[in-house]
Amino acid sequence: MLSEFRNPISFARRSTANRRTVALIAGLVATLALAGCHKKVKAAPPPPPPAPSAPAPTASITATPDTITVGQSTVLSWHTTDATSASIEGLGPVPTSGTRTVSPTESTDFNLTATGDGGTANATAHVTVNTAPAAPMAESNLTEQQFEENVKPVFFDFDSYSIRPDAQSVVAQDASFLNQHPNVNVVIGGYCDDRGSIEYNLALGENRANAAKQALVNAGVSPNRLRTVSYGKEKQFCTEENESCWQQNRRAQFTMDQ
């Protein structure tokens, strides 16, 4: 200790070196701290959005008529949405929408199952079968009025010959009556409203008559009993110039082929 006091220059140099070392360490620490403060942390990516759920299917089924006697037929009409497959108990796999003529021998529940990516849906049509057969109407006694009361026309949209969904039940009822009277032949007339050329409407009327014929055939009516004719716009059921009247003229009309 006495030697250090005796050599103040050496002591001063060592003190200066120590201060420089401390300052250097302090500067390095500050630099590292500053670099750490400016370092950006990468944000985690957002989670992927949930996959959209598939819509649940719907199903409906009707029987026309829903009460028959042994030996008679009924027409099943069914419709589904968002379904990839369908089946009816007792009939097996069926199209997702359609019609089928059946002749159950006893009262039956026709259970429709529709399956899709969103699940399943069920619907039931009950058909009551009476055991006592009804006396058939004699074909010779069937009047034109009785025919018209039971076999209704099918109406179409403008410039179209597609059977509309609301006409499916009409076709089913018509077919059921015709199947109960197998000796009655039918003329199917195709009609149009008065807009468009004569040639165009004759072709459209023919397509409408053929569409109605095919719908009856699909429901079990023999095609040999059905004859088609196009009247185009030459015969009008209503002559006013408005949509309500035009709709009355866009039809397939059924009459007895005598």
Cα angle value 110/116/119 (rounded, 5°):
85
And the tokens for 208?
A: 């409408």
User: How many Å apart are CA 227 and CA 207, to the nearest integer?
Assistant: 13
The confidence score (pLDDT) of residue 253 equals 92
Is it the case that residue 5 has pLDDT exceeding 80? no
* Amino acid sitting at position 109: D
Please give the C-alpha separations between residue 246 and each of 41, 58, 71, 187, in angstroms, as whole numbers: 72, 34, 41, 22
pTM over 0.75: no
User: How many Å apart are CA 181 and CA 136, to the nearest integer?
Assistant: 8
Q: Give the model's confidence band at 3: pLDDT under 50 very low, under 70 low, under 90 confident, else very high.
A: very low
Is it the case that residue 37 has pLDDT exceeding 70? no
Closest alpha carbon to 247 in 169, 195, 173, 200: 195
pLDDT, tens digit, 9 for 90 and up, residues 182-229? 889 999 999 999 898 999 999 999 999 999 999 999 999 999 999 999
- Per-residue burial over 151-184, b if 16 or more Cβ lie within 10 Å, else e, is bbbbbbeeeebebeeebbebbbbbbbbbbbbeeb
Sign of CA dihedral 169, 173, 179, 183: negative
Q: Give the model's confidence band at 141: pLDDT under 50 very low, under 70 low, under 90 confident, else very high.
A: confident
Residues 6+ apart with CB under 8 A from 149: none
pLDDT, tens digit, 9 for 90 and up, residues 142-194? 788 889 899 999 999 999 999 988 888 899 999 999 998 988 999 999 999 98
The separation between the first and the last C-alpha atoms of the chain, rounded to the nearest angstrom, is 145
DSSP state of 158: T
Q: Give the model's confidence band at 1: pLDDT under 50 very low, under 70 low, under 90 confident, else very high.
A: very low
Residues 6+ apart with CB under 8 A from 255: 144, 147, 148, 186, 187, 189
Is it the case that residue 9 has pLDDT exceeding 70? no
At which residue do the structure tokens 């899709």 appear?
Answer: 116
User: How many Å apart are CA 168 and CA 148, to the nearest integer?
Assistant: 18
